[in-house]
Structure 1
């Protein structure tokens, strides 16, 4: 079946429908990862967006359900150059086309994803529509495309009830470190990375009052990744301010990093086309060492808005010099914009979880 991708600037790509045939309007973003398409599809940070995979062949190792980063996929659409119809991998349990169909995700293949990515890089991230309907007049669909905005996605992706993840007996430390994880749209591997280090992780919904979290007397607090514009989350920001004012060690990733900055008086801004992929270099400003990181974000903290008595830059993006992490002055708090838990991506930054363990008084 023929399918079309219509961008808000009037550009139209024609390809083949994959997955669901329903029409979907969303923000169009691109990811440069060469592998890990299932982790991309199940990353809650993509809620409200359609993902363009720049690698030309997607689906060649199929679907392995153990690799999912959440219980369901979140993007509103999936855009590829070529979809592999015959996956080959000893762990393969399903094909990507069946996965898209079962989860009602519309997609399009057979388009020039290099040309599409170039448009998004030159003009910036824009909205678009995936449809199987051939419009003779684009005025009506483009008006709907331009009116779209990503809203309410943190609450949509967060867990609905608190739950606890226990460490395996073989991984137990003495004493066990108890971590409160605020789920802002968390990937599973964040909690998994803590459990593997012997932590008991209590996962809280995004709208949990700070008083409830602090009343449990956790050894540390983790603020997760998540989707959307950080400034939209005004109530969550107020609660994070209360967490900041406590003496509890805090480690924050991606959206959590942005919300902590907003909670302490700094500002954020939208990047032209964001950072999404597994090949982004970040520099540790203290050591000068560069790490290759996994990233997925469309917003960044404005370093010019920082009060050095509150926080100072700790990491910077080598490519465009945007902020990639903060160290909070006089506090056991550090935050990073990128993903030390990876999935997909390199594992260079996994040591940050060890740093968090040390902050909580545990062994690295």
Structure 2
């Protein structure tokens, strides 16, 4: 048997997302069936729908920031039951036996983790389809518990933007007294500020726009430095233990490197591609500084992040939309016209399409 599913899908890189019906696999013994209530909208969704990275196979249902309720579980599943509030992030499977997987870092699976959409299921060879849909079937090892005290509709971005910034904060051991800077105030940047502040760090936002100061401070930043102002940049030389760079396009890293302390690290979490202009090795050599990268997070640390958010009452700043508004949301996202993440109310999927 298979499970009839309603969704919105892209059918080519030049056409808008439209309603689409397809079949999910039936629940395997180690699966969880989830009725999706909310799904976040990530830049990766747009890039995939428009084939910006060159790997998209159509039709494709985007969405990897998924929150919903368990409606059924397989015979071998003991950790979840119908009615549980759960989440699914960017991965739905991995080999589970290579060194990264054995360390709970499935995002670095040496055989390639299976993406929530656009991946290939290793058991049946079918393409994975994401959360712009009314339900999803997922291996129980890739299902996350959502703390019940959090605002459910503001949780989905934690499963991508949240964990993408939490993972480097934990890996580089940010704690009370750490000095953290964030480059860029968008979906990733606003979560980096919230999480770093909750960990006890002193947080600074690097921005090109003075107009973001009030918002940055509301989110938890103690300082805002205008990155195009040489005097301001010089004033924070040798200051930061960690810089989380969330900017998703080519930009110059060189102005930020002198602001790192000895042994400091600038970690890229937004840019996918080549660095332009080239990075000078001089500040790296003279201060044993590093430029690094980090990708999403493993299942264990994602659960750790959700539990931390539950303890501290942290969720994303979101704007709710109906499923029928996704194409307009994509256009607004390209203009950075959202604070700071769109979330789809999946109940709207049952509504008629606007003429």
TM-score, normalised by the number of residues in structure 2: 0.31
| Greater percentage in strand | 1
